[in-house]
Structure 1
Amino acid sequence: MSVLVTGGLGFIGSHTVRALRELGEECVLVQRRAATGAVEDGVTVEQGDIRDLASLRAIGERHRIGGIVHLAGSMPWPPSADAPVEDARRALGSLFNIMQVAQDWGVRRVGVASTIGVYLSSGLNEGALTEDMPLSVGAAHLIPTFKKVGELLGGYLADATGIEVVNYRISGTWGPRGHSDPFFAAPALIHAAARGVAPDFSALVAAPCAEDALDLCYVKDTGRAIALLQLAGKLDHATYNVASGRATSNAEIIAAIRATVPDADVDLPTGAATAPRAWLDITRLREDTGFTPEYDTARAAADYIAWLRAGNVS
């Protein structure tokens, strides 16, 4: 039996696949534009489109799928003004397709990526955020809007089909194979230090300062947490925070960078932070899977800088 991972060649997906392999699981990855075939021992890439039910069903004819980790976004991203209704239809249709093949194949558990944004868009932005906090219905941004919709649909489909649907509320994830993030400065700071240049914050929605803080989870820990949730014999909840369980400030990131690159040009202004400090409580995750983060800020920064200096480009 294999675990099907959508988005398995992407940022979080590739690290989740590695963690699943380290735990002894074989993985099948589905990608729209990827070549078909085994990419390494125990990992096979299948070309397919999660928006196309027939292509997903065809994968099940070639592989025995026992679990699904759905990390490809069931949302219209990047957004388009040309056909918003059709884009939304296809995005949500991909979630229905995943659940349909899960039912066809007799899959026991489907994991679905959600986001810390479901809290922040509900005005929950101070202190420890727990999974049982009530969320508002609306959201100003497309991402938390569709993640909230996905969680509600997943709950209904779990009840209707008997399939266990697990929501991963993922915090700010950073590390190898990542990208410039519009909401936090850590990736830009790390890239600047590794390349010996000044950081480029043009992709951020707001200018950063040293005191800005968010629950930052190194991507290797994120992938391992998702793998543990997929493979756990018993889960007591349908929703889990996937995070470090603490708020990390830009000042901490800068100190960690300077432990590896003392002369890095990564200074930020101080005294300008206005946003409250929040983090995701990971008590459920720890109790039900035994997860604890392996990468503190210093280890994460050193690992990421080493990866970039080895010639990797993202």
Structure 2
Amino acid sequence: MILVTGGLGFIGSHVARALLGLGESCLLTRHSAAPRDVPPGAVAERLDMADRDAFLALGDRYDVTGIVHLASTPLRGTDVVAEMRANTSGLLNAFEAARAWGVRRVCVASTIGVYAGVRDSPFREDAPLPPGVPHPIPAFKRSAEALASAIAGHAEFEAVCLRIGAVWGPRGRADSPFFAIPGLVNAAVRGEPYPKKVYSGDGIDALYAPDCGRAVALLQTAGTLRHAVYNIGSGHVTTNAQVATAIRKALPDAPLDLIEGRAPDAPDEDYRLDVTRLRDDTGFTPVHDLDDAVADYVAWLGGRAEGSPDH
């Protein structure tokens, strides 16, 4: 059984479905509210990941053989010290549980944000990371990677860090402060113009959520991994113009109004992730192309509007 902390959240729910599709059983945890929308074949528990005793007690009730640690306390700056403490406690509890339960591999969520300050694109996992991090989230993720490396070096389990890029799709945010894709699709489904300025030439390495879930599941279940850090992304840049074209195929009357060219403050080149390690060690390639992903997301959003929350 694979434990997925945060397994009822955005990325976690897609990881769980991918693991189930690979024939694994799943234990899913979530900190807030009663578990709901639990996929068939999985079980769910409410858990405060910073509660060491509660975390370790899961091993008394379930035979956990692997851990995907995705849960986190949001680092929104209201009390950064408290949030860092909670997230570090949760990470250490996951490692302690892995040691106590004899787990083979722990996958730990990291982020593309750890590459802040790296100038060469595509971003490679072995790129030197410059000192100083401008935001608490990548700061914690860098520290989590360092802890994972140090602890796994003195334990009998593997720790694999997942540098996840821009992910969008079902169960995710209707809008993102970092890229336009989810906001454009959601506005189009509502039949409304997207209120923010969007430049057609700007782009990002974006991965559809079910594909992200499958990538994580493949890394968790692979027989052998040759590295301790993996990028998870599409490996190419998707521009806003391409997104608009895909939306018009799914919703011909969508009110789209993009500004030609690139934003004045856009970098000289859009960043993307080098996914060679992921592809070579797991065989991963995205199942969904952009047209298929947009059409699938539009259908899912339409189903929610009609009262069917899960597709």
TM-score normalized by the length of structure 2: 0.93
**Which residues of 2 match residues 302-313 of structure 1 at below 5 A?**
302-312=295-305
The alpha-carbon deviation at position 224 of structure 1 amounts to: 0.2
Q: Displaced runs of 4+ in structure 1, greater than 6 A?
A: none
Q: Higher strand fraction: Structure 1 or Structure 2?
A: 1
Counterpart residue number, 1:72: 71
Secondary structure at the counterpart of residue 272 of structure 2: strand
Task: Please give the root-mean-square deviation of Cα atoms over the aligned residues, in Å.
Answer: 1.8
In structure 2, the partner of 1:19 is 18
Is 1:161 aligned with 2:155?
A: yes
Does residue 98 of structure 2 align to residue 99 of structure 1?
no
Give the alignment's TM-score, normalised by structure 1: 0.92
What whole-Å deviation, never above 9, does each CA across 1:44-81 have from its counterpart, x for those lacking one?
A: 001211100111111110000000001112x5523314
**What is the deviation of 1:41?**
3.3
More displaced 10-residue stretch of structure 1: 262-271 or 144-153: 262-271
2-structure distance, mates of 1:38, 1:186: 25
Deviation at 1:278, TM superposition (A): 1.6
Distance in structure 2 (CA, Å) of the matches to 1:187 and 1:76: 20
Aligned residues: 303
Cα pair 1:36 1:44 within 8 Å, conserved: no
> Which residue of structure 1 aligns with residue 254 of structure 2?
264
Letter in 2 for 1:185: A
- Counterpart mapping for 1:190-205 below 5 A: 190-201=185-196
1:127-149 superposed Cα distances (whole Å, 9 cap, x missing partner): 32111111123210111111111
CA distance in 2, matches of 1:267, 1:250: 11
**1:1-40 matches, cutoff 5 A:** 2-35=1-34, 39-40=38-39
Structure 1 stretch 102-111 or stretch 160-169: which is displaced more?
Answer: 160-169
Cα 1:37–1:194 shift into 2, 3 Å: closer
Q: Does 1:108 align with 2:121?
A: no
C-alpha displacement of 1:263: 1.9
Provide the C-alpha distance between the structure 2 equivalents of 1:86 and 1:260, rounded to a whole number of angstroms.
44
Q: Distance in 1 between matches of 2:82 and 2:135?
A: 18
Cα separation, 2, equivalents of 1:36 and 1:173 = 23
Matches within 5 A, 1:137-176: 137-176=131-170
Is residue 71–residue 112 contact of structure 1 (8 Å, CA) maintained in 2? yes
Sequence identity, in percent? Answer: 47
Going from structure 1 to structure 2, the CA distance change for 1:167 and 1:267 (only over 3 Å counts) comes to same
The one-letter code sitting in structure 2 at the alignment partner of 1:171 is G
